[in-house]
Amino acid sequence: MIQANDPVRPPLQVSCVQFEPKMGAVADNVARASELIRAAAASGSRLIVLPELANSGYVFESMEEATALSEPAKDGPTALAWGALAKELGVYLVAGFAERDGDALYNSAMILGPEGFVGVYRKSHLWYRENLFFRKGDLGFPVFETAIGTIGVAICYDGWFPETFRQLALAGAEIVCIPTNWVPMPNQPEGEAAMANTLHRAAAHSNGIFIACADRVGVERGQPFEGQSLIIGPKGWTIAGPASRDQPETLTAIIDLNEASAKDLNEFNSVLRDRRSDVYG
């Protein structure tokens, strides 16, 4: 396994796949996403991020519908299909789905790689009507050591909380993958960029990490989505995107994860070393 401080690590190509899942059309969504994954892999990407609830759609109307569209994390049909694809293509995938664990549902992301199932993250901060269907994530903010680097995961509204990224950075995450379904924020001016773009750029800068956000597009059951996926470097500057507000698009960037180990801003300041945990309470 390649270590975070290994100076000979090759550059890593990352893709964020922005597309429009169709509500309830799991087989079609999985097939369409698989085509886009293949295209990203063919271009050289080894880490590919899909949106939140990418296989099912987002705006559930009932608990019965949400349950019917949910799957186990490790051996559900979507995990098996995308897991086989990850193995075939030699890539890592981070993709949102509705997870069923016993009688509990979670808004989750699966992490899959050439070696198979890597892990799952369960969304910690639920947005709006998600609270009617999902339980709050109970796994904390794990990081996943992989052959390409140390991956953290957060989902959509998790990005509104600085603690999300600080926890992941302190645990050693080099890149945080964000499956998301961003929606317009209250009082958002016409034409204003997504609030999430500002929040995630700030988080990348404040923690010295890469962040890769894959949003969806379209309008589902009256709910518009923001698009504007982006990939951000550890100094907070955008290195790919933002993508279109309303069109499918795959963003790709070639990154050097070793840069996430360099937290210094100058000869005196480092974003993690300068923390004053003695005065934060």
Active centre residues (catalytic): 52, 123, 156
Q: Which amino acid is at 78?
A: T
CA–CA distance, 51 with 75 (Å, rounded to integer): 20
Residue 5: CB atoms within 10 A of its CB come to: 8
**Helix, strand, or coil (residue 93):** strand
CA–CA distance, 216 with 61 (Å, rounded to integer): 19
As given in the structure block, the two tokens for residue 111 are 């992490």
Ordered DSSP codes for 177-243: EEE----PPTTPPTTPPPHHHHHHHHHHHHHT-EEEEE---SEETTEE-----EEE-TTS-EEE---
Q: How far is CA 77 from CA 31, 36, 55, 220, in A?
A: 12, 18, 10, 24
Find tokens 């550059």 and name the residue. 11
